[in-house]
Amino acid sequence: MEVARSILNQNYDWAFNIAYNSILQAVRALMFSKGYRASSRNSHIATVKFAEIFLDEKDVLYLDRMRRKRHKSVYDIAGAISLIEAKNAISEAEKITGEIKRIIE
């Protein structure tokens, strides 16, 4: 989150993407801690599906929306993320990764 915050005023897309990636990596750590691993094909979708088992529905929905928005910003349209979206992504990522950390511990 520190890196996402540090570039927030320079590039909203990448601040958002870093926040998304932090959640993705936290869910993957949870997967590993439970003895699972996402396949290399469609791994982002598989990771979101796995999150459904442990996270609140609203957090999973937010993560899936982030996944779609991130895909668009990386592969289709630069500048697709607003400042508000990036700030919200960082805030939500902190909350969700904190919850995942509690589950793993």
What number of CA atoms fall less than 13 Å from residue 18's CA on the CB side? 17
The rounded distance, in Å, linking the Cα atoms of 44 and 71 is: 10
pLDDT at position 38 is 77
Beta carbons within 10 angstroms of residue 2's beta carbon: 7
- Per residue in 10-37, pLDDT (tens digit) is 999 999 999 999 999 999 999 999 999 8
Please list the pLDDT of the chain residue by residue as tens digits (105 residues): 899 999 999 999 999 999 999 999 999 999 999 999 877 777 888 999 999 999 999 999 999 999 999 888 888 888 889 999 999 999 999 999 999 999 999
The dihedrals phi and psi of 77, each to the nearest 5 degrees, come to -130, 110
pLDDT at position 37 is 83
* CA distance to 16, 32, 91, 103, per residue, from 85 (Å): 7, 29, 10, 26
pLDDT at position 89 is 97
pLDDT at position 12 is 96
- Domain with residue 20: its CATH number is 1.20.120.330
pLDDT at position 49 is 93
The rounded distance, in Å, linking the Cα atoms of 101 and 103 is: 5
pLDDT at position 43 is 85
- For 69, the domain range is 2-104
pLDDT at position 9 is 93
Total domains in the chain come to 1
